[in-house]
Amino acid sequence: MTSQVLELVTLPVADLVANPRNARVHPPEQIDRLASSLRQFGQHKPVVARRDNRMLIAGHGLWQAAQIAGLAQVRVLLWDVDQRTADAAMVADNQLGDLSADDPARLEALLDELVDFDPAVLGFDAATLDRLLHEAVETMIPVHEVATRPVGDRFWVSVKGPLHRQAAALDRLKAFMREVPEVEVELGTVSG
């Protein structure tokens, strides 16, 4: 069992050292998005480093982003462990994070509520965010073809959700229905 002696401190960014054996690569676009997030929210979680040599264990990308964002200091959890244990914890931190996945419905609901935030501070580029939201709209109304016979009925389709989602869903429905022979489509809104 490894010692759990941890101390939360604030250190100058320049006092920390990247672990040269870290296998996790942080592309420039990720660092830029992390820097945007730091500027918006501040540092809400510390990086982790060895007490003896200030070498990073977890948070290499955040540390790089802090430099880009112009932060002079960062919050650091100093851990009193040997280098071998620190390296093993670094590998575990990198690998274990990859085993998680987003729940698409929850992510969609959150993104709907956060449309006033810059996509970069949320970790997205605008195109990716737009694609995610568009894919969510496409899965909102599954369309299944069924055998039909002519009828003279009129019907209403109700779409719930934020207005931009309603409009996208109705546009998709309209495009689909226009390709069905002998169907006339009128779209409108009812407010109440």
Mean pLDDT of 159-171: 68
DSSP string, the chain: -----EEEEEEEGGG-B--TT------HHHHHHHHHHHHHH---S-EEEETTT-BEEE-HHHHHHHHHTT-SEEEEEEE---HHHHHHHHHHHHHHHTT----HHHHHHHHHHTTTS-GGGGT--HHHHHHHHHHHHHHHS-------------------S-HHHHHHHHHHHHHHHHTSTT----------
pLDDT at 40 over 70: yes
Inter-CA distances, 147 with 144, 150, 180, Å: 10, 10, 12
Across-strand partners of 77?
8, 48
Last residue of a domain, one of 97, 125, 150: 97
36 pLDDT above the threshold of 80? yes
Is 34 contained in some domain?
Answer: yes
Domain count, the chain: 2
What pLDDT was estimated at residue 108? 81
Is the predicted pLDDT of residue 138 greater than 70, yes or no? no
Domain end call among 66, 97, 128: 97
Whether residues 84 and 126 fall in one domain: no
Q: Output the pLDDT for position 192.
A: 43
Which of 14-28, 43-57, 59-73, 103-117 is predicted with the least confidence, judged by mean pLDDT? 103-117
Q: Are residues 12 and 48 in the same domain?
A: yes
Taking the whole predicted model, whether its pTM rises above 0.75 is answered as no
Domain hosting residue 151, numbered range: 104-178
